[in-house]
Amino acid sequence: MSDERKTLIEEANSLGLEFQPNIPTAKLKNLIAEAKGEPPEVEETAPASPKAKVDASEETEKEDAPTPEGSLVAEKPAMTKYELKRKKIADAKARAQKTRVVTITNKDNRENDFMTTVYLSFENQYFGISKIVPLDVPVELENSLIQIAAATMMTLHKDEIIDGKRTGNKVPVRVKKFAISYGKTL
């Protein structure tokens, strides 16, 4: 492996980029440049396409077009696909980690005497959160864990009633396991 490739791999790893180990050096250079916000390298041997020539002439026309005086609208550079993905991940993580004060109560009478905490966890391919949460005590908890607790179901066996009379049979019924009381938002 050449010294240039080693330095490129080290730089890509330090930037936190994900790539295949057998990625071509040219693609690795472009990936690093894209992560840094630099324009990717263009092969000089390939002729420019007719579409590129038209785009270039349109860009010069846009640059020459006068802007209204006093305009506060500034053109911002378009985000790359990688930057958009990272922004969406960061936004989702921020929403998931926003906290609220809640009190979680277990509705299962079979466990109420001895269950004092509940383990809640949330994980996807980009981030994860897990906590052991005390029951019946106001706690500050992340939204994603609150949603997990609210969605947790349990199966109870209730008496079967037909025409107002009990049949002696039991019917499985799925109900929510936890009652959640919301406090103030932090």
Q: In this predicted structure, which of 55-64, 65-74, 110-119, 126-135 has the lowest mean pLDDT?
A: 55-64
pLDDT over 60 at 49, yes or no: no
Q: Looking at the chain, which runs of residues are DSSP E strands?
A: 99-106, 117-123, 128-134, 139-142, 153-162, 165-176, 178-185
Q: In this structure, what DSSP letter does residue 114 have?
A: T
Predicted local confidence at residue 42, as pLDDT: 55
Predicted local confidence at residue 29, as pLDDT: 85
Predicted local confidence at residue 9, as pLDDT: 83
Mean pLDDT (whole number) for 24-41: 78
Give the domain ranges of the chain: 1-42, 97-185
**Distance, CA of 167 to CA of 41 (rounded, Å):** 77
pLDDT in tens, 142-167: 888 998 999 989 998 889 989 989 88
pLDDT band of 113, cuts 50, 70, 90: confident
Mean pLDDT (whole number) for 70-77: 57
**Distance, CA of 21 to CA of 33 (rounded, Å):** 18
Predicted local confidence at residue 73, as pLDDT: 56
Is the Cβ–Cβ distance between 122 and 144 less than 8 Å? yes
pLDDT over 80 at 51, yes or no: no
Predicted local confidence at residue 48, as pLDDT: 56
